[in-house]
């Protein structure tokens, strides 16, 4: 369930960011951001309570949001720097290490 809440919160964060990016004006879609913010906060709340400790929750949330942000940036046609790919690799390594050593 930990990864499900991490992916859920990360997905809603990225959806919110994409809507902000594609909006001609922030106020045209402001009504939509309140329900998304409530869903994000609840997902992060559940993520923190499901995790064995706070760093584990942070690693899962960071991996989910960075990966989804990279996919969204590729979809929007933005260039991706080498540092982003290195960060994703390190987060995958941290997630694997967390799984291996509990």
Mind giving me the DSSP string for 27-64? GGGHHHHHHHHHHHHHHHHHHHHHSSSHHHHHHHHHHH
pLDDT at 13: 94
Which residues are CB-contacts of 51 (< 8 A; sequence separation ≥ 6)?
Answer: 2, 57, 60
Whether pLDDT at 28 is above 90: no
DSSP state of 26: G
Count of CB atoms within 10 A of residue 5's CB? 23
pTM above 0.85, yes or no: no
Higher pLDDT among residues 84 and 28, named by residue: 84
Count, residues in the chain: 102
pLDDT at 49: 94
Give me the mean pLDDT over the 5-29 stretch: 88
27 token code pair: 């106020």
pLDDT at 90: 93
Q: What is the mean pLDDT of the chain?
A: 89
pLDDT, tens digit (0-9, with 9 covering 90-100), for 31-83: 888 899 999 999 999 999 999 989 889 888 988 998 899 999 999 898 999 99
Whether pLDDT at 93 is above 70: yes
């Amino acid at each position: 369930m930990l990864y499900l809440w991490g992916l859920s919160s990360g997905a809603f964060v990225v959806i919110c960011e994409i809507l902000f990016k594609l909006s001609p004006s922030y106020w045209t879609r402001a009504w939509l951001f309140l329900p998304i913010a409530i869903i994000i906060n609840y997902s992060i709340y559940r993520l923190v309570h499901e995790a064995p400790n706070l760093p584990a929750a942070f690693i899962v949330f960071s991996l989910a949001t960075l990966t989804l942000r990279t996919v969204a940036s590729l979809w929007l046609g933005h260039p991706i720097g080498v540092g982003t790919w290195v960060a994703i690799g390190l987060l995958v390594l941290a997630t694997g290490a967390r799984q291996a050593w509990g």
